[in-house]
Structure 1
Amino acid sequence: MIGIDVLLDLSVRIVVAIALGAAIGLERQWRLRTAGIRTNALVSVGAALFVIVGSVSLEGNEATHVVADPTRVAAQVVSGIGFLGAGVILRDGFNIRGLTTAATLWCAAAIGSLAGAGMEIFALVGSAAIIATNTLLRPVSRMVNRRFGHHDPAQDNSADEDEAESDYMLEVVTSEKSEQRVRALVLQTIDQPGYMLHSLDIRPTKESRVKVLAGITSQTAGDTAGLQAAVQRISLDPKVVSSRWWPAESED
């Protein structure tokens, strides 16, 4: 049987893997991406469990080490997570979505592997680096795109680059009591030719208010007239506190 001290150590590794995976997924879910808190937490704890299986004996009276090669198990986790990451990468015309989310899932598996191997400090440092990359480097990426222009070789064969799709976020703030009404208003307003809703999220805020966040795809890049008209129409509703829109990064 596994001793109490070993059982406690393994339990701490699992809890750390879940907590760090959830912290990584929080940023993804906040930006309305496909893989959020639960997905990243499951990837992290799953990797930790696989590493634990590879490094702790399942036979014998004592929890002695190394029946299987833990490095081999970790290598299988690295290759196996690629299939899960491929599931969040989508291609819409000339745009590719989900690359950053897929890379984040891959990193979450690495964090879980570190936690499962008993290297909790390295897992914590790695999680901080991942979160910082997804947040602090975002304005740097935008600055580079504005400075040098965003060029996609896949668009070289297109007749008109303006026909590429663009992603936008629409935010509407209202009271908790009016949430259903405003959500229906948002869905009705953006239901127009040239725009497609791909995500909808409701988030509570202070003072008994909620944010209705809608992810919208415009079939024509730079076509924001419909969005502007939608914001103006939504703002006329007396239950709406504020409304705005902004461009979103499709490659995330």
Structure 2
Amino acid sequence: MTSPFAAFVIEPNALFTSLICLATAFVLGVAIGLERQWRQRSAGLRTNVLVAVGAAAFVDLGLRSAGAEGSVRVISYVVSGIGFLGAGVIMKDGTQVRGLNTAATLWASAAVGAFAGARLPAEAALVTLFVLAGNTLLRPLVEFVDRRPMRPGETEALYRVHVTVPAEQVAFARDLLFDELERHHYPIREIETLAQGKDSVELAAVLVPSRANEADLDAIVDHLARHDEVISATWTVSTTS
């Protein structure tokens, strides 16, 4: 009579290889996750370790069960599947999108695990070094760029011309914005109502062009502010998403 456990054969060499793969993914996942945990990110030490180890386990399983072809199929599934996990940490807060760096780090942790599971520990370590460099060494450069005042001529930007008028003059303000901006050859994408109270309403005309001349916008708002019906006029610029 054949034992039901006959199919469960432990191969010491294969088991040791899997141990090395998973241990490599674990150690490198710790290196990435520790930096994330230190900065108090939502996906910290445990999450990055589990992503790396999980990717390594799946790739190792594919390699052992179906060879190189099986590992390639598993890697393609890991690449697409980790995207769903990354999407869970991305949040939209008003006009700001948060969590993109965390999602990208998780994706990179999966790549580290995939290299480890494919028996390429040196490459896995190399990817880890680049991930850590991206999250640490580039921070001063990012902070330097963010501290620079934004100049409209240097970036793709979203321009708005604002007017505040009495509540009963909203229709007049819309026509005034259209006429004034059309006269200076700045087409309008839309007019937003930013604030509405009992006595006044603030409108903002969103311009179609991604670049505009500051002198033109200054002249436009100066001319708008001269109308008796306009309480205030100004323009703003913000980066596009």
TM class, shorter-chain normalised? 0.5 to 0.7
Question: Once the 2 structures are TM-superposed, how far is the Cα of residue 119 of structure 1 from its aligned partner?
Answer: 0.3
Contiguous gaps of at least 5 residues in structure 1 = 58-64, 161-252
Change (3 A) 1:156 1:25: farther
- Tell me: higher relative CO, structure 1 or 2? Use CA pairs within 8 A at least 6 residues apart: 1
1:94·1:154 contact (CA, 8 Å) conserved in 2?
no
Question: Once the 2 structures are TM-superposed, how far is the Cα of residue 14 of structure 1 from its aligned partner?
Answer: 0.4
* Cross-structure match for 1:172: none
Partners of 1:149 and 1:125 lie apart in 2 by 36
- What's the RMSD between the two structures over aligned residues? 2.5
Contiguous gaps of at least 5 residues in structure 2 = 1-8, 164-241
1:44·1:108 contact (CA, 8 Å) conserved in 2?
yes
Number of aligned residue pairs: give it. Answer: 153
Question: Once the 2 structures are TM-superposed, how far is the Cα of residue 146 of structure 1 from its aligned partner?
Answer: 2.3
Of all paired residues, the percent bearing the same amino acid is 48
Change (3 A) 1:158 1:11: farther
Change (3 A) 1:75 1:67: closer
1:94·1:155 contact (CA, 8 Å) conserved in 2?
no
Change (3 A) 1:9 1:133: same
* Cross-structure match for 2:76: 75
Question: Once the 2 structures are TM-superposed, how far is the Cα of residue 158 of structure 1 from its aligned partner?
Answer: 9.6
* Cross-structure match for 1:103: 104
Change (3 A) 1:135 1:159: farther
Return the letter of the residue paired with 1:108.
S
Report SS of the residue matched to 1:88: coil
1:56 to 58, 64, 77: 64
Question: Once the 2 structures are TM-superposed, how far is the Cα of residue 25 of structure 1 from its aligned partner?
Answer: 1.0
* Cross-structure match for 1:17: 25
Change (3 A) 1:154 1:95: farther
Once the two structures are overlaid, the 10-residue window that deviates more, 82-91 or 139-148, is: 139-148
Q: Which runs of 4+ in 1 moved over 6 A?
A: 150-155
**What TM-score do you get using the length of structure 2 for normalisation?**
0.58
**What TM-score do you get using the length of structure 1 for normalisation?**
0.56
